Amino acid sequence: MPEEVTLTIDGKKITAKIGQSILEAAEENGVYIPHLCALQELHSTGACRVCMVRIDGRYSASCTQPVSDGLQVEVESDELLEIRKMIVEMLFAEGNHFCPCCEKSGNCELQALAYRLGIDSVRFPYQFPQREVDAEHPDVFIDHNRCILCGRCVEASRNADHKTALEFIGRGKNKRLAVTGIVDLDRADKAVSVCPVGAILLKRQAFQVPLGQRRFDHEPIGAEVESRNPEVRTP
């Protein structure tokens, strides 16, 4: 069996290694597919659905779909952009995301995606759910208001920290992150550092990076991926 396959992304032929996801192959070729839950060093769960693409005409999360020979992948279309915008807007409407008073602001991947996708207002009514802030841990805050249930921390705790310190409980709109209590979360855990939003934060670190020097202050999210491909211009 060959080690490499050829597929087409938005009409452009790329080569990818067998076993890679479409998202990984795209990134390696300088094509940024917006995503929130996928992270290179973690197992992808396809939780957030932001990385939705069309593969041979079918909608699929590109982070969980493996490459195969001859696939026709559509990433940039008005329809897919609209789907991504809608998903991100739903995340904003579903939780309590008060950017002006969030210490993750400027370093937040959800916020940066909204900037990149050009979201200036949310079409869905804000839900303003009643959620808790768990400040019990000596070094870590868990703010359920900002949690988007991407599962990165659960995945990292299980497979990178080998701890299972965090799990999901409940279903549907009652699903939320929970501390299992089996083992203690440590401030150095991967589970603490992978949160894309301000739901898991280290205490006593707030606002240390001044405005203008934060992760997404000057460059949109995905710019570093696109810099690998001179043909793609960052919006």
Residues 194 and 165: their CA atoms lie apart, in Å, by 14
Task: Answer yes or no whether residue 173 interacts with other proteins by CB under 8 A.
Answer: no
Q: Which residues within the stretch 192-231 sit at the binding site for other proteins (CB under 8 A)?
A: 217-220
- Applying CB under 8 A, which of residues 121, 173, 204, 231 lies at the interface with other proteins? 121
Please, what is the minimum distance in Å from the beta carbon of residue 105 to other proteins? 4
3-state secondary structure of 94: helix
Dihedral (CA of 182, 188, 190, 196) sign:
positive
Instruction: Tell me the one-letter amino acid at 129.
Output: P
Q: How far is CA 148 from CA 67, 125, 174, 199, in A?
A: 27, 17, 12, 8
Residue for token digits 């991967």? 190
Nearer to other proteins, 66 or 220 (CB): 220
- Applying CB under 8 A, which of residues 13, 101, 138, 173 lies at the interface with other proteins? 101
Task: Answer yes or no whether residue 100 interacts with other proteins by CB under 8 A.
Answer: yes
What does residue 54 show for φ and ψ, rounded to 5 degrees?
Answer: -110, 125
- Applying CB under 8 A, which of residues 57, 58, 70, 130 lies at the interface with other proteins? 130
- Applying CB under 8 A, which of residues 69, 76, 79, 115 lies at the interface with other proteins? 115
Give the interface size with other proteins as a residue count (CB under 8 A). Answer: 27
Q: DSSP letter for 216, please.
A: T
Please, what is the minimum distance in Å from the beta carbon of residue 234 to other proteins? 8
HSE-CB at 103 with a 13 A cutoff on CA atoms is 15
- Applying CB under 8 A, which of residues 56, 69, 76, 128 lies at the interface with other proteins? 128
Nearer to other proteins, 135 or 188 (CB): 135
Pairing outcome for strands 140-143 and 52-55: unpaired
Within 10 Å of residue 46's Cβ, how many Cβ atoms? Answer: 18
Site residues (vs other proteins, CB under 8 A): 92, 96-102, 105-106, 111, 114-115, 120-122, 125-126, 128-131, 217-220, 235
